[in-house]
Amino acid sequence: MRLIPRLLFILSVLNIGCQSKSNQEVIVNYTNPEIEYWGRIDSTDEGTNLYWSGTSIEMNFEGESIHALLQDETGDNYYNIIIDNNEPVLLRPDTTQQYYQLASQLPEGAHSVRIFKRTEWDRGKTVFAGFKIEGNASVLPKPAPKERKIEFYGNSITAGYAVEDTSGSDRPDSTFTNNYLSYSAITARHFDAEYQVICKSGIGITISWFPLIMPEIYDRLDPNDSTSQWNFSRFTPDVVVINLMQNDSWLVNLPERPEFKSNFGDTAPSDEYIIDAYQQFVADIRGHYPEADIICALGNMDATQEGSKWPGYVSKAVANLNDQHIYIHFFPFKETPGHPSIAEQEAMASSLIQFIDENINW
């Protein structure tokens, strides 16, 4: 289903230092153990920091209304708000810490709330400080952990860049990026799997459209901080999907780019260099997750069009690794300009879901 989210208006701005006033209101601190976090997050004295696409916050509760206490670094991040698994609505937090009403006039009984980060880390972080529930309010136990876990490493395709730009212009405004509608998030929801994604539009294995490459940031907690290291023991996926090298396929042919000169000098990288770089990245992922099934994917943009050398690079690297639990899956070239549309993301998800069903027992 195509969702056209609508912007949530700020319905109330409340005193951020307030405490519970009666049994009709509950303040839920961000440290409450019944709050479920997905993604690479960290907490400070002020709240929980949200950086990466697909990061989410979930809680079960009873009450007539619920608010979230948020502060965004830039005011350019967007979140899907999902109440009781209904259609998402859109929230854009401001740079001033305040409460945002996420739902009101809820019927009696149990409810769930999910806050899902649509946008990429280059839009800045968001700090979540807790919830406020009103009207016969209480926090309910969080559900049992998901039986499956899946992690993705990717570029703009995985990020869902411009997926909602129906003009076909690939506009960079963060309004149009929605990781929730990417093939990666759709696949995770299909398998009811806990979801984590490390992605950035324009990134590659050997070269990106900016100075950083994926091997330099894949192990960061805060993607903007080179000293911020992620503890891989905090999330152990059953399946890892790597979909990279679309940007490499363009940039290795652009010697005038400063990133080309910085990474390669005056000479384009050889086939062996590219294969080795990809192989080393996959080996690094294997080192962190010795038991995971790893899918080395590519596509659905022109890196997989007929005559492309890039599927061969992936195949050679995987063959060199000689690991029975590392697989190859190529998404067919979509044969349309620009980034994948909603329908094309859904087609990618269907393709990946079928591949997992046929090859992986998890």
Length of the chain counted residue by residue? 362
Per the CB < 8 A criterion, the answer to whether 115 and 79 are in contact is yes
Residue with tokens 């948020």: 70
pLDDT at 256 over 70: yes
In the prediction, which pLDDT does 24 show? Answer: 83
**How far apart, in Å, are the Cα atoms of 337 and each of 163, 169, 170, 208, 310?**
13, 9, 9, 20, 19
Output DSSP code: residue 176. Answer: G
What structural domains does the chain harbor? Answer: 25-140 (2.60.120.260), 148-359 (3.40.50.1110)
In the prediction, which pLDDT does 23 show? Answer: 54
Query: 71-108, pLDDT tens digit by residue?
Result: 999 999 999 999 999 999 999 999 999 999 999 999 99
What predicted TM-score, i.e. pTM, was given to this entire model? 0.93
**H/E run at residue 235:** none
Query: 39-65, pLDDT tens digit by residue?
Result: 999 999 999 999 999 999 999 999 999
CA geometry: angle 282, 284, 285, nearest 5 deg: 65
Furthest CA-CA distance within the chain: 70
Residue with tokens 């709240």: 47
22 pLDDT band (50/70/90 cuts)? very low
Query: What is the rounded average pLDDT of the residues 111-131?
Result: 98
Name the phi and psi angles at 67, rounded to 5.
-125, 155
Q: What is the mean pLDDT of the chain?
A: 94
